[in-house]
Structure 1
Amino acid sequence: MKFPLISDIASTSVVSVDITSSVAEAIGMMLDKDHRNVIVIDKDCFKILTVIDILNIQKNKLDLSVKLSEVHLDIVPVIGREKNVLDTMEYLNNSIEYICVINPDKSLYGIVTHTDITSNIDPDTLMDNYRLQDFLKLNRRIKWVKKDTITFDLLKTMANDAFDNAVIVEDMKPIGILTTKDVMGLIRNKNDLNVSVSEYMSTPIETVPRNSSVKEALEFIKEKHYKRVVVVDNKGNLSGIVTQKELISLTYSRWATLMKEYQKELSEINNILKDKNKEYETLASTDSLTGLYNRYKFSELYLSSYLAMTQRHNEMSMILMDIDFFKKVNDTYGHNTGDNVLVQVSHALLKTLRNIDIVCRWGGEEFIVLLPTANLENALYLAEKLRVYIEELDIDIVGKVTASFGVTQIIEGDEMEDAVARADEALYLAKNSGRNCVKSKLAV
């Protein structure tokens, strides 16, 4: 098996502008070239202006004549054109779906997207028995709205929450989708945004059943040239969305297995990965910002901890916590400061909890903690201890932050999503009770 070089799969049809260009010039190039983003060259650094950035610029009524250097733009990771496609794995935890490909002299050669990577994965190497419904048990949040939602309100929400798509439903059945491509059309045509989103959604929407395999989902994406699959249950109700990026991440474990099984045929890959195995294992199980476990690893650890609990007749509990008003921190001080808050809160969790406790960044400003051997009373005590410790932190620039906590005890027969749902209900109660407090939810 031979994986292609980055130069073989990169797209060289890239719209790029200099950091000294104005926002208006960049938007004009995007519209002229019918692109949903533009690469911004800032000396040896590459940044990106996306549709979501444009929505935020319009929402904040920013003067379009300002220079791009005055706008906060995400930095795009880079990779040499001589690298192997397998080397892109280390970038998959990055929220940006593009990688800039550079020449030996550091100039821009092109870009690689998740679509490019997906198109170069052999479906026969995928986990044929890994079903989408198993992945969706992680309860991944998606954006869905009813068909009479006003387009302007939806675009505002997409900008605030950084969603690149929204599924439109009727009686929980998906009837359309609005993606960044559709948004670019609205911007180009200067459409009336004070009408229902059903006027502009892409319809009909093609879906896949939740019992499909990862292989089938990837083949569907490649055939349709989509960036995501919309998943439905056997009644046609919306179950979730799976992106290219998530499918790529799932394939890595299958690749690792093949590498061990076919030593001779895969000697080239084994040489590439000789010094990277530990790095990839860490990448697959940890959150890149905080160093805590990620959702995939947490799901694995939940199963092993649950099995130990039932075999030893122990008790076990769960805490779901959310940093209060975190969006205000990002809006006031910027995302770099927000990231620093997440890191310091992560350190506080590790310092306060026991060695046997399992801590995970659940997503955004949410963290989840599994407490082996702890009953509800012990879990409430630990949650309150965490609440006080976080409240007393003195964080650079921001000062003080608080957090809300939802606690539940795990009982025999609990699926992970059942326990998470109860903890989430308790967290919702804590937020409605004024935040900065601890609430619990018992299993029925």
Structure 2
Amino acid sequence: MGVREINFDGLIGPSHNYAGLSPGNLAASANAGKVAHPRAAALQGIAKMRANLALGLTQGLFLPHRRPDHRWLASLATNVGDAAPWLRAAALSASPMWAANAATVSPAADTADGRCHLTVANLVTMPHRSHEWPETLAQFRIAFANPAFAVHAPVPPPFGDEGAANHMRLAPGPDAPGVEIFVHGFAGGGFPVRQHAEAGRAIARSHGLDPARTLHVAQSEVAIAAGAFHNDVVAVADGLTLFAHEQAFADAATFYADLRRILPDVAIIEVPASAVPLCDAISSYLFNAQLVTLPEGGQALILPGEARETPSVWNWLNEMVAGNGPIRRLELVDVRQSMANGGGPACLRLRVVADPATIDQRFLVDEDRLDRIAALVEQYWPDSIAPDALADPDLWTNIEAARAALLVLLELDELS
């Protein structure tokens, strides 16, 4: 089949709820306490995967984690029935749906040993995400068991790492050497900084990246304070195109100069704050789009519907695609349930550049497999979850039964 970019989406789990557990994520905080709709959320995610397939892209998925996470609660000497409400909510969080935070990925063309390296993110900054990595690692060790891959355990605390949401890669093609960019934060107006510089440096060393083709860049404090809790809220890259907000980086001029020195053909599309204020970019998740290269050539932005509903964003986008730049196509998807919890199209996916034949085929999807998953979601996923429902033992049982049925459908009993 050959090396290509594969988008792995996190299937939105049956415990999807709005508990507001993520300080600095403005959407999650604003919607805390509202009624969530797990079934609709998962079906929206499946529809997004279908849209990617329709564009000719290769699509995979990762599975929801065990919820409630009884083992994590036991390590805290409690259980789901006795835990404080915020701990119970953390143990029931469906946040593994945002696969962009699952790991950092370096394609084989960039690494010293010619293997695709994946380092699972530790997510230590947020309690509700800090217990994700063991199950992510378990899935990765199955999905990427082929010798073409090297799967690494997380960078140790206290160095926070939130995966590909703070990592970009630019290259003339999937199998050509690229430039890997690790974005970190320093301060954020009272919000926690989630990506530490030392985590990026450790991953670069572990993956065997060429220091001459690796950049470590600081995110702007203004962006973090405005609600850009990850770099992928203000910047995204694909191929030889970097698409970013004017206020994304602490020192954009130096970063762009370094990038052009290594990749003279890079196209940097910077959206000016005068045209799209930072608050509009963040609320619409303009940059949390999937920027993809289409099989027939050219690039497309896969955007949330909220982009069209934000006049400054939609006007600027239409002017851009009417020009002669590399991004010539806009595709809208409905991921409102995810958006309300603080994650857009790019949050839901992890990009892996590899030959699909080297991946465990149970983690790849086509229309038929998505049909069967959607039917299972219709049968097992709760229609709604209100905040007070998180204390209901019947809900815990139903969530566990839904995941068990999914494992049977996908023949992944080793994850039970």
Question: Normalising to structure 2: TM-score of the pair?
Answer: 0.27
TM-score by length of 1: 0.25
Looking at both structures, which has the greater relative contact order when contacts are Cα pairs under 8 Å and sequence separation is at least 6?
A: 2
